[in-house]
Structure 1
């Protein structure tokens, strides 16, 4: 045997050290990925909390396209938007509790959608609904916006 037993079979201590190093590398990689994902989420929320930059005509055209596509599919309602509850000044509590005045808690694009409905769709008989649609860990999460026109 040209190699010693120590070369062939490392000690249990050495194996534990190598395993600990691998675990630390995996944890570090996970932490970097989580930090990147959190930064992307914060950037998205920041972007969504700002005005869309679309003109009134662009918003109306977009709403028309979404509604017409849903009608062609035989639907009488369509979810037009989904957003994190952090875009509400109360984290979506008023929406979740269906409190009067919940719309005043909206910011950014969700508020723009409500105003678009108020100005153009409500007078034409459309209804709007804001509802918590996700409960991660039992807590309110994302909110969906639905436009409906059926009975």
Structure 2
């Protein structure tokens, strides 16, 4: 019975992950209002992190399935890793490039978990100050 319960939980988790991937594949309509809203939200998050003395903040976490190579280029720190992004992660990169990079914010991407020793979720971090990259 415990195994059946665990299997059912795993099935629900896999379904939730599939639903998340489907959702993140759908781009968000980009309007001036949406850009302003995202800027306010992200900059508020960065102010909170900076007030705590942090030099970076996780701004997006997503399954590696939203990289065309499952995160290989990113994990190997290849220069063209952004070209592997799809869906909303690509939009997040473009938002940084178009609206935050010129303000001195860096962007760091890395695999943030390793289920069963394999690359898992990707984290996008905005950086500033000494942590800027």
TM-score range, shorter chain: 0.7 to 0.9
- Segments of structure 2 that go 5 or more residues without pairing to the other structure are none
- Segments of structure 1 that go 5 or more residues without pairing to the other structure are 1-24
Task: Call closer, same or farther: CA 1:137–1:33 in 2, change over 3 Å.
Answer: closer
Q: 2: CA distance between counterparts of 1:143 and 1:41?
A: 14
Say how many residue pairs are matched. 127
SS in 1 for 2:60: strand
Q: 2:116 aligns with which of 134, 137, 147?
A: 137
Q: 2: CA distance between counterparts of 1:107 and 1:74?
A: 32
Contact 1:88 1:106 (C-alpha < 8 Å) held by counterparts: yes
Which structure ranks higher in relative contact order (CA pairs < 8 Å, sequence separation ≥ 6)?
2
State TM-score, norm by structure 2: 0.85
Larger radius of gyration: 1
Superposed CA RMSD: 1.7
Q: 2:11 aligns with which of 32, 35, 44?
A: 35
